[in-house]
Structure 1
Amino acid sequence: MGKQLTAGEICKRKVTVGYRQTSLVAAAQLMREDHVGSVVVVDEDNGSRRVCGMVTDRDIVMAVVATGLQAEPLCLEDIMSERLITVAEADSLTDLMRAMRDHGVRRLPVVDAQDELMGLVTMDDVLKILVRELNMLIGTMDAAIRQEHVRRH
């Protein structure tokens, strides 16, 4: 049996980050430039980036646009999710999927033992891995059919 993939192996290491005082407009522009749907909010301390929240494009729409608020005076800390779920680098793919399901989230910051931001895993990342694994199983079925065909002819 092969080893299980871990969050540290799956995650994207280039993460779009902002700070508590980053304006919502600047954060939205970062998301657009980086083609991502979220900004991980960090507190920086001696070069260490500790996760303190997250803001998604949906958060901006639901908390600001849909309520008629003006985005200009607001910053990330005004709407960020503070009850943030993170996963450790050593957590397995199964752990990731369980955390996403149990907490109803599509993105999980990956942290090290000191809770420093190491990367981000999205549901898209997980789905790509699962599709690859399912394709391997389909390949196994196809190979078995070919081998049976060779044996019978």
Structure 2
Amino acid sequence: MDKQLTAGDICKRKVSVAYKHTSVVAAAQLMREDHVGALVVVDDANGSRQVRGLVTDRDIVMSVVATGLDPEPLCLEDIMSDHLVTARENDSLLDLMHAMREHGVRRVPVVGTQEELMGIVSLDGVLKILAQEMNLLVGSIDTSLRHERARRQSTATPVIAL
């Protein structure tokens, strides 16, 4: 049997990052360039990227655009959430899903033992993994039916013609 999937197993290791003092406009441009909907806000400390927050395209729309604020003077620290949900690399997929549901988040940065950024898990990524797992289960049903048919054919009572 395979081991239990963890956040470290399923996270994307290439993460688009920004800093607290990155302008909102520069962050939006980076999201567009990288084709992502979120940036992990980090500080470079002791040679590693320490996770400090997360800013999504929705944060920019809801906090800046929809309220009519001028984005030019704003930095990410002005709009990023104070409450950040993270996962450890060894957290199970089930624990990760529970945390996403409990906190109502679609993206979770994955951190190492020193709170350094290791990757990010998105709801889309989790759904893709679950779909693959469901496909494996469907495949086992098909295999089971084929094995049953083969057993029945090999043990069928021969018909004797009189």
Count the aligned residue pairs: 153
Q: Distance in 1 between matches of 2:123 and 2:105?
A: 8
Q: Could you tell me whether the CA contact under 8 Å between 1:25 and 1:72 is conserved in 2?
A: yes
Deviations 1:85-114 (A, max 9, x none): 101011010111011011100100000111
Q: Distance in 2 between matches of 1:91 and 1:135?
A: 23
Deviations 1:23-51 (A, max 9, x none): 11111111111111001111111322111
Q: Distance in 2 between matches of 1:82 and 1:137?
A: 40
Paired position in structure 2 for 1:10: 10
Stretches of structure 2 that go unaligned for 5 or more consecutive residues are 154-162
Residues 74-153 of structure 1 aligned to structure 2 (within 5 Å)? 74-153=74-153
In percent, how many aligned pairs have the same letter? 69
Q: Distance in 2 between matches of 1:147 and 1:4?
A: 27
TM-score, structure 2 normalization: 0.91
Q: How far is the alpha carbon of 1:73 from its aligned partner?
A: 1.1
Q: Distance in 1 between matches of 2:151 and 2:44?
A: 64
Larger Rg belongs to = 2
Q: Could you tell me whether the CA contact under 8 Å between 1:54 and 1:82 is conserved in 2?
A: no
- Is the partner of 1:68 in helix, strand or coil? coil
Q: Distance in 2 between matches of 1:30 and 1:4?
A: 35
Matched AA of 1:60: I
TM-score, structure 1 normalization: 0.96
Matched AA of 1:82: D
Matched AA of 2:15: V
Q: How far is the alpha carbon of 1:70 from its aligned partner?
A: 1.2
Paired position in structure 2 for 1:63: 63
Q: Distance in 2 between matches of 1:25 and 1:70?
A: 10
CA RMSD of the aligned region, Å? 1.1
